[in-house]
Structure 1
């Protein structure tokens, strides 16, 4: 009986390693090449805010009702909905175009970017002060892959308490700093709670 060759062992192993490395490689690429964008958070149900070791956040651009008001939504619906539905199906990919604030001053926390349009296809030739972030429709929300965060155990209680303080006071919103690459992929960089900055 023939023994399996080294190639028969190494080829599947190489394929598995490539799959394992592909996911973090995309995040590293986005982190290195992406444009820094500031997202405004919105209050989250306190029962959803903390789930085990993670924090759940939502953004101004998360509610479906919010993105439906953006220019381009009717085109997204026309390009994606089925005849028996009035909305695109869950899982539909969208690109929300964000524009940098018109300010040069360095404030803490930094001011959030503003949503100005939505597309079904990745936009091209955006000006330097705009970026398109990729999201996916899910029920009444648009998810950007930035909703769940994990913090070190030593910081978790402090951050949870600070988030609760900000959630209970609408006059004290907090923001999240992310990097967005040219494909719309986003990775979290830091969380701003007032003037305090926590890196992910």
Structure 2
């Protein structure tokens, strides 16, 4: 009698399914590694939300000035994006789930002395732009309810570094108790690849008194 050792069809299907799931799982870190190697370094300004109040927990949530759709309404390309009315029909937002691109340009003017200067949003596009200047990058985002996510919102930080940042912010507040500055003294350094994918690299924090600022960099 000849034994048929050919795998059955259900087994082959199981193997293909397992292979597909493995590739899918590995594709996320592979994409991050690719972006780390090929990406261009840019700086994003954080928004005056929870990170400015103090970092808590082992997984932080960061928002940026370009996370708010209100900050992007006046840019070229806004009108070409699909929209959805708010509940009160007064404000129009980008339709949730819409993938689009924000074109950022290297800054030409100073905003936060001592810190790396944030890149400025200059246009929006539903399709990935093919031609960019050397001083421009494209960042891929997805619209949510009134916000935009770029895959840079959550990250982990060692407890010692998180505690040091919190101490820096406390020191800065004690030295400058008047809330005269609307822009948080924290910027995020990220790398962006040619496809608009981004990964966080480090946080830059400005502490100390206004006339004698101190700059710290925390690697992520």
Question: Which TM-score applies when normalising by structure 1?
Answer: 0.81
Q: How does 1:153-172 map to 2 (within 5 A)?
A: 153-163=159-169, 170=181
Aligned with residue 123 of structure 1, among 115, 126, 129:
129
Tell me, yes or no, if the aligned pair for 1:48 and 1:56 is still in contact at 8 Å. no
Aligned with residue 184 of structure 1, among 181, 191, 196:
196
Structure 2 residue ranges without an equivalent (≥5): 174-178, 207-214
**Alignment length (residue pairs):** 194
Question: Which TM-score applies when normalising by structure 2?
Answer: 0.75
Choose 1 or 2 for highest CA Rg: 2
Cα distance per residue 1:133-172 (max 9 Å; x no partner): 0111111111111111211123222223435666867366
Separation (CA, whole Å) in 2 of partners of 1:56 and 1:116: 25
Separation (CA, whole Å) in 1 of partners of 2:6 and 2:161: 50
Q: Would the alpha carbon gap of residues 20 and 169 (structure 1) be closer, same or farther in structure 2, given more than 3 Å must change? A: farther
Cα distance per residue 1:30-66 (max 9 Å; x no partner): 1111111100112104799656312222111111111
Q: How does 1:15-26 map to 2 (within 5 A)?
A: 15-26=20-31
Separation (CA, whole Å) in 1 of partners of 2:85 and 2:50: 34
Structure 1 residue ranges without an equivalent (≥5): none
CA-based RMSD of the aligned residues comes to 3.2
